[in-house]
């Protein structure tokens, strides 16, 4: 057999261990890394194994203790089935998902050759958090990076929705972040409202995607006059489909919008404040330079290393309008 042909039935077992891993969209970034490792080892597929927390309670790294206080046990269970597993189903390389019922079950599945285990040096007794992996040039290529494939059914539902609501207008989604965890990363909602209020309603249909955690607590009254598509906050596949079908997606750097980042079809603009120390350190860990557009960006995909002020939002949007005129 040629060395570049995947070994039939050989799988890379990716252990997503809830003793150290948060139940967030970070899994999309990490799956990208796992996919690169799978291909480099000529393995046929990814098998994601979700390992339960320690019986004595969750043991997050210090970064995630604050997260744990905000997202309690019941919400974590909800996120497992409504965020993590749906994200896995967007990745064609993931051919098998196992939700282990105990850490002992996980350990029996871990006992395979080390080349079939991910993250590197993982063990059930000493779990590893692959935190914000860096992306060298080969990982940032389109082939490796753009791994999201939205189900056709979700795309059909969103197509029908936009046909009814947009009526030929350009759809512009605004992904809001209004989260109690790391609130300095949140959207400046007032600036986004002022921006969409200034759009020509004959040309554009703005679509607000609220933050999942805050959508039940109510949105600013000024958003009532705009189209708020709450299903996208609760259904990962509808969100991904909306990102692919929209004329443009806009927002700050937040977990859910990385479904667009890893899509080969979504057009987006992401605002990321490079002067924010926490964000800048995270970007450095990812291997991203704030001096340029990331290498993984395709046509119509852009990062803006500035705050989401109204002036910045409007300026960038005008530039996109001018480029499409």
Contact indicator for 60, 28 with CB cutoff of 8 Å: no
Q: How confident is the model at residue 2 (pLDDT cuts 50, 70, 90)?
A: very low
Q: What is the mean pLDDT of residues 304-312?
A: 96
Cα separation of 51 and 268, whole Å?
34
Token output for 155: 């795309």
Q: What is the mean pLDDT of residues 284-305?
A: 84
**Selection from 235, 288, 239 nearest residue 260 by Cα:** 239
Higher-confidence residue of 315 and 131: namely 315
Residue 270: Cβ-neighbour burial (10 angstroms; 0-12, 13-18, 19+): buried
Q: Would the pLDDT of 116 be above 60?
A: yes
Cα separation of 296 and 145, whole Å?
7
Q: Would the pLDDT of 74 be above 90?
A: no
Check residue 3 and give its pLDDT: 46
- Strand ranges in 60-127 using DSSP code E only, listed in sequence order: 94-99, 117-118
Q: Would the pLDDT of 1 be above 50?
A: no
Q: Would the pLDDT of 314 be above 70?
A: yes
**pLDDT tens, position by position, 83-111:** 999 999 999 999 999 999 999 999 999 99
DSSP one-letter code for 217: G
Fold of 152-324: Rossmann fold (3.40.50)
Q: What is the mean pLDDT of residues 188-211?
A: 96
Cα separation of 161 and 154, whole Å?
11
| Residue ranges of domains in the chain | 7-133, 152-324
Q: Would the pLDDT of 225 be above 60?
A: yes
Q: Would the pLDDT of 325 be above 90?
A: no
Left, alpha or beta for 9 (phi > 0: left; psi -120 to 50: alpha)?
left
Share of the chain above pLDDT 70, in %: 88
User: What does the buried/exposed string (b/e) look like for 60-90 if buried means 16 or more CB atoms within 10 Å of the residue's CB?
Assistant: beeebeebbeebeeeebeebbeebbbbbbeb
Cα separation of 287 and 132, whole Å?
9
Cα separation of 28 and 30, whole Å?
5
Q: How confident is the model at residue 64 (pLDDT cuts 50, 70, 90)?
A: low
Q: What is the mean pLDDT of residues 112-140?
A: 78
Check residue 17 and give its pLDDT: 93
């Amino acid at each position: 057999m040629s060395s570049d042909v995947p070994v039939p039935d050989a799988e890379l077992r990716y252990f997503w261990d809830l003793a150290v891993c948060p139940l967030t969209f970070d899994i999309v970034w990490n799956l990208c890394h796992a996919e690169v490792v799978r291909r480099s080892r000529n393995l046929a597929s990814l098998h994601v194994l979700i390992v339960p927390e320690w019986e004595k309670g969750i043991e997050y790294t210090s970064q995630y203790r604050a997260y744990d206080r905000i997202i309690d046990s019941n919400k974590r269970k909800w996120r497992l089935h409504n965020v993590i597993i749906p994200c896995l189903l967007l990745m064609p390389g993931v051919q098998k998902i196992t939700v282990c019922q105990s850490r002992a079950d996980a350990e029996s599945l871990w006992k395979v050759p080390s080349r079939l285990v991910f993250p590197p040096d993982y063990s059930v007794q000493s779990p590893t958090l692959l935190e914000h992996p860096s992306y060298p040039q080969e990982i940032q290529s389109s082939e490796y990076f753009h791994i999201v494939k939205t189900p056709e059914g979700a795309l059909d539902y969103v197509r029908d929705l936009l046909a009814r609501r947009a009526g030929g207008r350009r759809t512009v989604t605004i992904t809001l972040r209004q989260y109690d965890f790391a609130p300095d990363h949140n959207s400046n909602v007032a600036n986004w409202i002022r921006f969409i209020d200034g759009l020509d309603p004959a040309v554009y249909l703005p679509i607000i995607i609220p933050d999942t955690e805050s959508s039940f607590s109510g949105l600013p009254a000024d958003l009532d006059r705009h189209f708020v598509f709450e299903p996208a906050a609760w259904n990962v596949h509808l969100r991904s489909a909306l990102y692919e079908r929209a004329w443009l997606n806009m927002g700050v750097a937040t977990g859910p919008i990385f479904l667009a980042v890893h899509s080969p079809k979504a057009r987006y603009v992401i605002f990321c404040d490079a002067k924010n120390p926490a964000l800048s350190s995270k970007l450095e860990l990812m291997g991203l330079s704030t001096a340029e557009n990331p290498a993984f960006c395709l046509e119509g995909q852009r990062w803006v290393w500035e705050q989401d002020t109204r002036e910045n939002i409007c300026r960038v949007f005008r530039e996109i309008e001018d480029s499409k005129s």
